[in-house]
Structures are given as structure tokens and as C-alpha cells.
Amino acid sequence: MEKIRIKYFTDKIEKLDYIDGKSDWIDLRASEEVELKAGDFKLIPLGVAMELPQGYEGHLAPRSSTFKTWGLIQTNSIGIVDCSYCGDDDMWRMPVYATRDTVIHVNDRIAQFRIVENQPKIVFEEVEHLGNDSRGGFGSTGKQ
């Protein structure tokens, strides 16, 4: 089991908790009240900084209810926090775009993350043919 060193910037949010057996994504909470008008952009502070182990990164995404509840879209779709972002002032933030007027309160669960091992080093080998059957289309359906 990996240990992650974590710094909290406020005592107004619940501490992070890994719920074994439910999901390996961990909820993150807004650490300050944020009022947004439709069309606003904001980096919402999440109130934590972490020292991830070498060779790992954090993947930050909105919770499934974030758009429905607050009308927020994470502007970079998914955020990547590498292990070098581990200083005392390196608070995690969620970049959002508001599609409607909204208010996020302290301790609202707006994001989630998981720790993922970095991709191994790879080398691309150029070939004329891959030698596999063609699916003849786009995506999982194979249809264009």
C-alpha cells in the first residue's frame, strides 16, 4: 500500500478518504465558496497539495454530478497532476467553465481523482502494414 503525503490548506473541508471496494476514485471538495456567472472561468481551489510517489501521476476529473448540479465543465477535460507538483504552495485546483449562474459552497464534492502509474517508455516502430484485419470504420461500432 502506497502512502501519500498530503497537506490541507483549510480545516473546513472533509479529509480525503479511500473507500475500499466502492471505487478507486477519491472525491475532492471545493475549499472556498465560488460564485460564477454563465461564461465565467475559474480555477476552483480544492484545498490539498500532495506528494505523489515517483513514477505516478494524479488524474483529476469532474464527478458525474458536477455538470447536472452546478453547470460546470472542466476546461481541460481531465487534469494531470505529475509528481513534481508537490510543493507547499502547490494546491490542486479544478479549471471550470460555467454554463449557467451557479454557486459552489465550501466542502461541495465537485471533482474526483485517482493515482495512476506513469506510462512506460515506448519506442514507435514504423511499418508499411500492421498485418491485422481492418475494422473499416470509426470507434467501437466500426461505422463511419
Catalytic residue annotation: 82
β 102-104/34-36 pair status: antiparallel
Alpha-carbon distance of 86 to 35, in angstroms, equals 28
Alpha-carbon distance of 27 to 70, in angstroms, equals 16
Do you know the residue count of the chain? 144
CB distance 83 to 90 below 8 Å:
no
